[in-house]
Chains A and B, each alone.
Chain A
Amino acid sequence: MVEFIDALFSYAFLSRALAAGLLISLCAALLGVSMVLRRYSMIGDGLSHVGFGAVALAAAMNLAPLTVAIPVVLVAALLLLRFTGSGKLKGDAAIAMISSVALSIGVIIVAKADGVNIDLNSYLFGSILVISESDLWLSVILAAAVLVLFVGLYSRIFTITFDETFARATGVRTGAFNTLIAVLMAVTIVLGMRMMGSLLISAVIIFPTLSAMRLCRSFKGVTIAAALVAVLGFTIGLIISFVWGTPVGASIVVVNFAIFVITAIIGRIYPEKH
């Protein structure tokens, strides 16, 4: 622990990783509350795979990863939200299809592109070293946007998450709202997948809400608890990763799972009073 705090001040990459990671985890958890409760959990998973494909493509074309990945993931997010809403192509099937295809295309590009030197492992499972100065600034902007959205539109977010049809009937523009969520989701995933890994980023979207739901029975309670769980899970995961040299993304996922187990046990021991 002391060693970690020492290192935090001596290595710029570590303090950047901590700052950006905390902000991204917070955003992922807040957006995750609405996604999980609307049963869109798998969308995050699908999008991160699309993100991997996009980053591989960017590398092959010698472009900056974020400039390709953010728009591609955004388009995928809008499409997936539409599929899931319309029921024409079953949402879960659409997601499974898109995510495996995107992953495959990414792997093919990485394998075949000439002169491309991509560390596949780091893209799939994340790395603590990759957070750059500009990633950190993007994370700050993103976190500010998500927090403003959450506070400013809190009652709308609740109403849409609880009952989208009712929300539409009372004049809420759910289409615009879904687009906004998709934009923020896409940016969160693309930023987060560098550190967490594209195969693991969806865990930080889903786990905090699931853990929070074991403890809290109101929407406000779940939202606040999810934010706290996300921050806690990320910090402990990062420390473990640094101290024991374990992969960062995987460590955070395992810590989140441990938190989930603990909250599930607490939830069993103290069910809702009344």
Chain B
Amino acid sequence: MAHLICRNVSMSYEGRTVVDNLSLELPRGAYLCIIGENGTGKSTLVKGVLGLKQPSSGQILFGEGLLQRQIGYLPQQSTRHREFPASVREVVMSGFLNQHGYSPFYKKEEKVRAKEVLSMLGIGELEHRSIQALSGGQQQRVLLARALCAASSMLLLDEPTAGLDAEASQEMYELLERLHQEQKMTILMVTHHLAEVKKYATHILRLRGDGYFFGTVAEYEEEVGKNG
């Protein structure tokens, strides 16, 4: 059954239509890479999926009981975090906010879960460190841990490896692949790295100013082979 459904979705950015009449159905457990030049609406579509921006027409729907606020979101890297006083634990725990209504305090299970997620991502020993003191790759893992605490079954990542060196970037892709394989996470990712897309993705959405391509990786290669 489809996990994410876009039905004739159009979205505009600063008065210009950037996503035009997009329709797709993404099965549960898929690994979708969203590619395309700058200005083709990748970030706008991400906002639409998260509910931060309404489509100008069409509908974005979720299947399998997924609620929009249960998507684990990893935003584009921002330099702000380098000066922000927060412990890794504080950042990761904030991922649970979508689950605990108006209770001001985090539950015991959530604290245990946060520890588990941190060790799963190989940063268990950083729990009490300040996020300021971490490397770019470590910071991204912390934000991925936060996304995982928020996520029930879908992760949405906006250029998760931007600003990371080759090694940290490779580790990030491997980590995501593990989450996809072992945790059966549905993954949506905006990226520019075509080699990794072909290696890990199951589906590709390529946005162009004048249209889009959506299909499996094999279909994409066939399409590219045909049209160049």
Contacts and interface: CB of A to CB of B under 8 A. Distances in A.
7 contacts: A155-B97, A155-B100, A162-B90, A169-B51, A170-B95, A170-B98, A217-B133
B84 A37 contact: yes
Interface string A123-156: 0000000000000000000000000000111111
Interface stretch (B69-77, B116-124, B175-183): B69-77
Nearest to A171: B69
Given A169-B52, A274-B133, A219 B97 contact: no
A117 to B, nearest CB: 47
Contact of B104 (A155, A171, A217, A221): A155
Contact of A162 (B91, B98, B102): B91
Contacts of B105: 155
Interface string B137-181: 000000000100010000000000000000000000000000000
Contacts of B93: 155
B54 interface: no
Given A155-B106, A165-B52, 10 more contacts: A155-B104, A158-B90, A162-B94, A166-B75, A166-B146, A170-B95, A170-B97, A217-B85, A218-B90, A219-B90
A90 interface: no
A172 interface: yes
Contacts of B102: 152
Interface residues of B, number: 32
B50 interface: yes
Contacts of A42: none
A151 B85 contact: no
B104 A153 contact: yes
B151 to A, nearest CB: 10
Interface string A188-223: 000000000000000000000000010011111110
A272 interface: yes
Contact of A152 (B68, B95, B104, B132): B104
B17 to A, nearest CB: 20
B86 interface: yes
A158 B100 CA distance: 15
A159 interface: yes
- Interface residues of chain A: helix, strand, loop or mixed (majority): helix
A158 B94 CA distance: 8
Interface of B: 50-52, 68-69, 71, 73, 75, 80-81, 84-87, 90-91, 93-95, 97-98, 100, 102, 104-106, 129-130, 132-133, 146, 150
A168 interface: yes
Interface of A: 37, 39, 151-156, 158-159, 162-163, 165-172, 213, 216-222, 272, 274
Best-surrounded residue of A155, A222, A272 (most CB of chain B within 10 A): A155
Nearest to B50: A169
A168 B130 CA distance: 24
B132 A217 contact: yes
B97 A159 contact: yes
B86 A170 contact: no
A153 to B, nearest CB: 7
Contact of B130 (A153, A162, A167, A272): A272
Best-surrounded residue of A156, A162, A165, A170 (most CB of chain B within 10 A): A170
A167 B97 contact: yes
A272 B132 CA distance: 10
A170 B150 contact: yes
Given A169-B71, A170-B150, A274-B129, A156 B97 contact: yes
B2 to A, nearest CB: 21
B85 A219 contact: yes
Contacts of B100: 155
Given A151-B104, A169-B71, A274-B133, A162 B52 contact: no
Best-surrounded residue of B84, B95, B132, B150 (most CB of chain A within 10 A): B84
Contacts of B71: 169
